[in-house]
Amino acid sequence: MDGDAMTGDGRRRTVRRSGFGRASVTLGVVAALAWSVTACGTDDAGADTSASSVSAGEGGGRGTESPPGGSGKGEDGAAAAGGGGALDGTGAGADGLVRCAAKDLKPAVAQADAAAGNVYYDLKLTNVGEGACELRGFPGVSLIQRDGGEIGEPADREGEQGTVVELEPGQAAQATLHTVNKGVAEAGCWKRPDLLKVYPPDSLDALTLRTDAVRVCGDTFTVGALSASS
């Protein structure tokens, strides 16, 4: 765009003004705006990706669930389906025998000798399957009402885990249930059960035994590891 300017002697002369300067400024402003928009878009995308990664990390794992209403309790108080055994991921032991499945076990319970205010029950799991199998560890034991509700707490584990028990058809493994006589401890006695629910070691399948024989008092209820039954 042209314009007029006055010279030193008072004469008017034409001055040609170039649009290059303004164009440069304009291009600079446009470039700055474009860079700003691009930078903002990159930040937003980065924030979304980061949030997705955190969410995936928080929800990527699941805890191991304990069997409902029949799990044993370890020394730390955590519920668990019996004690672990010398079994691999296929359910086979080091000697090649398979873990005894719940469907191949028949439970039974009988009161044993009492001693100094303590009461003991013998819990037996008999192999009624067609082949040999093995067990190791603690069964999970709970007292159950007729309507399915649990009475008190599942039995706590007591003692060492024990060794592998090999069961031929017809043979049994035995665990000891322990409680105390009424009046030995300040806590009273639990309601008598209608059923006894038993989880074999390393099993999520329960055995159910109809019995009211086990009476727990003094908030004391423990189960020992399985051993060969005499």
Contact 109, 213 (CB under 8 A): yes
Q: Which fold has domain 72-228?
A: Immunoglobulin-like (2.60.40)
Q: Residue 82: what pLDDT?
A: 52
H or E stretch covering 80: strand 79-80
Q: Helix (H, G, I), strand (E, B), or coil: what is residue 217?
A: strand
Q: Residue 24: what pLDDT?
A: 45
Place of tokens 């069961």: 167
Distance CA 27, CA 38 (A): 16
Distance CA 127, CA 169 (A): 5
Strand partners, 79: 73
Specify the DSSP class assigned to residue 47.
Answer: H
pLDDT tens for the chain, 230 residues long, are 555 545 444 555 444 444 444 444 444 444 444 444 344 444 443 333 322 222 223 333 323 333 433 345 544 444 444 554 444 444 555 557 899 999 999 999 998 888 889 999 999 999 999 999 999 999 999 999 999 999 999 999 999 999 999 999 999 999 999 999 998 888 899 999 999 999 999 999 999 999 999 999 999 999 999 999 97
Q: Residue 66: which residues within 8 A CB-CB, separation 6 or more?
A: 79, 80, 81
Reduced 3-state DSSP string for 115-183? ECCEEEEEEEEEECCCCCEEECCCCEEEEECCCCCEECCCCEECCCCCCCEEECCCCEEEEEEEEECCC
Specify the DSSP class assigned to residue 46.
Answer: H
Query: For 193-229, how does the pLDDT look when each residue is reduced to its tens digit (9 = 90+)?
Result: 999 999 999 999 999 999 999 999 999 999 999 999 9
Contact 206, 118 (CB under 8 A): no
Contact 161, 136 (CB under 8 A): yes
Q: Residue 45: what pLDDT?
A: 39
Q: Residue 9: which residues within 8 A CB-CB, separation 6 or more?
A: none
Q: Residue 116: what pLDDT?
A: 87
Cβ density class 25-61: b for 16+ within 10 Å, e for less: eeeeeeeeeeeeeeeeeeeeeeeeeeeeeeeeeeeee
Domain boundaries defined on the chain:
2-58, 72-228
Hey, what's the torsion of the CAs at 113, 126, 226, 82, to 10 degrees? Answer: -120
